[in-house]
Amino acid sequence: MSHGVHGNEKIKVEGEKTLKKTISLVICLLLVVALLVGCGGKEEVTPEVKDTLIVAQGTDVEYLDPHGIASTPAAIVVEHIFDTLVTLDENFEVVPRLATSWEVSDDGLEWTFELRDDVTFTDGTKFNAEVVKFNIERLLDPDVQVLLRSYIIMADSAEVVSEYVVKIKLKYPHAPFLHRLTASSNAMVSPAAVEQYGEDMSANPVGTGPYTVADWVKGEQLVLERNDEYWGEAPAMKTIIFKPVTEDNARVTMLEAGDVDVIVRVPPLEATRLSENEDLVVQQAASTRAIYLGLNVTDERLKDVRVRQALNYAIDKQEIVDVILSGAGRPLDSPLLEEMFPYKKVGPYEFDPEKAKELLADAGYADGFSMTFYYTEGRYLMDKRVAEAIQSYLADVGVDVELKTMEWASYLAFIRQPIEETETQMFMLGWGPWILDGDQMLYPMFLSEQAPPAGSNYGFYVNEEVDSLLQEGTSTTVESERVAAYGRAQELIWQDAPWVFLHSEEQIVAMKKGLEGVVVLPIEQLRLAGARWTE
């Protein structure tokens, strides 16, 4: 009996030892796993790399064939799909892009460019001098819709010198010609794509830039994908998505909710609040954009200069800047901005509603009149509020305006109708030249030959002396002659008042913290090829 009892105890003891060993082994294994996860586990797991950027613009992109664009929203996208021969750096100096070097003849009529020999379009077409010749000829072809032909109108022809050397000949010496070539509208397109797609090039853009178009649903989004065969430095972002969001506060809400990464045209009051959010960054920068109320001078009432001047006196531009823009701008005192050569102060039109009424009475409109005022929402800073303020100011002097708004692409098409088809009376627009030379502001906006459909003189303004001065200013390289011609032109344009000269606006861009490399240029360009996430 006793022997049996001792035997059972032995079995029990040995069983307990085995159990303890098993438990110890399990604990050790758990500790090892914990250590591997805690210390070495991170090396085994590849962290997710964020490589997508979502940008909310105020309007949709209307066109993607660079030779047919005429707006900054389109230019921002085109800049990422196509390349120009030369470009501007952040200091506004001209630097190489598809051209590596250049020289100009003594008479200023021939520009010779050395080209890169390692560039291919995304359809496989080789970039060379023949391509440049094709593009210059297409830009000058009157049968091709080139809305900003004024940016290249001084060119006469292009000649192939060798496979990677091209010569562009000018009709006359042109001081800012090299700067003209930096414009997105002068980018190089694939000749093979033009032959294949014809007028459908906009829907099938083929360039040499850092991105290609992966998807475009108008009114919803435009998706760019990284061009892995790009000749330059590879972008960090694999995908950039542009979303048109017209309503100002909607863009702000989307950024705060994390639905988008970058927004433009932040309402000034919201900018102050957003800058206090530690998860966001707000950039406020100068802009070369002038906002104006275009006047169709062929209209029975608006053809009288006294009426046009009256409208200028009727609107308190300073109050619009101070109250609606919260100081993010300044009233215009010239057809040119201070940043542009050769700016001359010739204004302002002070706020004087009594003088406005007198001028209207002198013109036969003592009882006022009614007009239609067209505008688009989301394109300019606080544009809807500005339009409503203008409506109120004009009502105070007896001019009753009905506000009508349009989607951006439709709006552009509407105001670009030729004189025999146009329905415009008053319309709000902005003009922001891509180079800071008066030639880029005065020539396309006020030369009579630039009336639609040829160019951007949307109000059909005609002054023969102004035409002569602008031709003189654009066809000489002598600085003193340019200053004199453009100075006198500014005086005449101001007196003629083909615009209600409103204000310049600042750029206010907001983005998520941890996003670096987004370049905001004064010409309203957003450069995103260098954008990257750092956290």
Domains of the chain: 61-203 (3.90.76.10), 218-286+507-533 (3.40.190.10), 290-505 (3.10.105.10)
From 180, 172, 171, select the one nearest 102 (Cα to Cα).
180
Structure tokens at 515: 């996003």
Could you tell me where the DSSP H helices lie in 165-299? 177-180, 191-197, 248-257, 268-274
Q: Where is 519: in which H helix or E strand?
A: strand 519-520
Helix (H) or strand (E) holding 515: strand 515-516
Residues near 448 by beta carbon (within 8 Å), at least 6 away in sequence = 457, 461, 462, 463, 464, 467
User: 369-376 and 426-431 as β-strands: parallel, antiparallel, unpaired?
Assistant: parallel
The reported pTM is: 0.84
Give, in order, the Cα–Cα distances in Å from 442 to each of 3, 433, 489: 118, 10, 8
d(CA 479, CA 403): 43
Residue 112: Cβ-neighbour burial (10 angstroms; 0-12, 13-18, 19+): middle
Nearest to 376 by CA among 454, 455, 265, 300: 265
- DSSP conformation class of 246: -
Structure tokens at 394: 């004009």
DSSP 3-state assignment of 194?
A: helix
Helix (H, G, I), strand (E, B) or coil at 187: coil
Which of 338-370 are b and which e, b meaning 16 or more Cβ less than 10 Å from the residue's Cβ?
A: eebbbbbebbbbebbbebbbbbbeebebeebbe
Q: Give kind and range of the element (H or E) at residue 443.
A: helix 439-446
**What is 38-88 written as a DSSP string?**
IIIHHHHSPPPPP-EEEEEESS------GGG--SHHHHHHHHHH---SEEE
> Tokens for 135?
């593009």
pLDDT value at residue 299: 97
Give the number of other Cβ atoms within 10 Å of residue 198's Cβ.
Answer: 9
In order, the DSSP letters of 291-311 are EEEEE-TTSTTTTSHHHHHHH
The answer to whether residues 289 and 431 touch, using CB atoms and an 8 Å cutoff, is yes
The pLDDT, as a whole number, for residue 17 is 41
- Reading the chain (535 residues) residue by residue, the pLDDT tens digits are 333 333 333 333 344 444 344 434 433 333 333 334 444 444 444 445 689 999 999 999 999 999 999 899 999 999 999 999 999 988 889 999 999 999 999 999 999 999 999 999 999 999 999 999 999 999 999 999 999 999 999 999 999 999 999 999 999 999 999 999 999 999 999 999 999 999 899 999 999 999 999 999 999 999 999 999 999 999 999 999 999 999 999 999 999 999 999 999 999 989 989 999 999 999 988 788 999 999 999 999 999 999 999 999 999 999 999 999 999 999 999 999 998 999 999 999 999 999 999 999 999 999 999 999 999 999 999 999 999 999 999 999 999 999 999 999 999 999 999 999 999 999 999 998 878 899 989 999 999 999 999 889 999 999 999 999 999 999 999 999 999 999 999 999 999 999 999 999 999 999 999 999 999 888 888 999 999 999 7
Picking from 190, 181, 182, 167, the residue whose alpha carbon sits closest to that of residue 65 is 190
For CA atoms 275, 533, 261, 218, give the dihedral sign.
Answer: positive
Q: What pLDDT score does 534 carry?
A: 92
Q: CA–CA separation, 439 vs 474, rounded Å?
A: 6
What pLDDT is stored for residue 39 in this prediction? 42
Number of other CB atoms surrounding residue 206 within 10 Å: 23
Question: Looking up tokens 């809807």, which residue turns up?
Answer: 384
For residue 143, how many other CB atoms are within 10 A of its CB?
A: 6
Q: Which residue has the tokens 């021969």?
A: 85
| pLDDT on residue 19 | 38
Q: List, as one string, the DSSP characters of 459-503.
A: T----HHHHHHHHHHHS---HHHHHHHHHHHHHHHHHH-SEEEEE
pLDDT at 49: 66
Q: Any residues with CB less than 8 A from the CB of 452 and at least 6 apart, and which?
A: 415, 416, 417, 418, 419, 422, 458, 460
- 56: which strand partners? 243, 263
In the prediction, which pLDDT does 35 show?
A: 36
In angstroms, the CA 309 to CA 327 distance is: 25
The C-alpha atoms of residue 442 and residue 428 are separated, in whole angstroms, by 18
Is the separation of the CB atoms in 132 and 113 below 8 Å?
yes
SS3 label, residue 108:
coil
DSSP conformation class of 229:
T
Residue among 345, 350, 344 at smallest CA distance from 309: 350
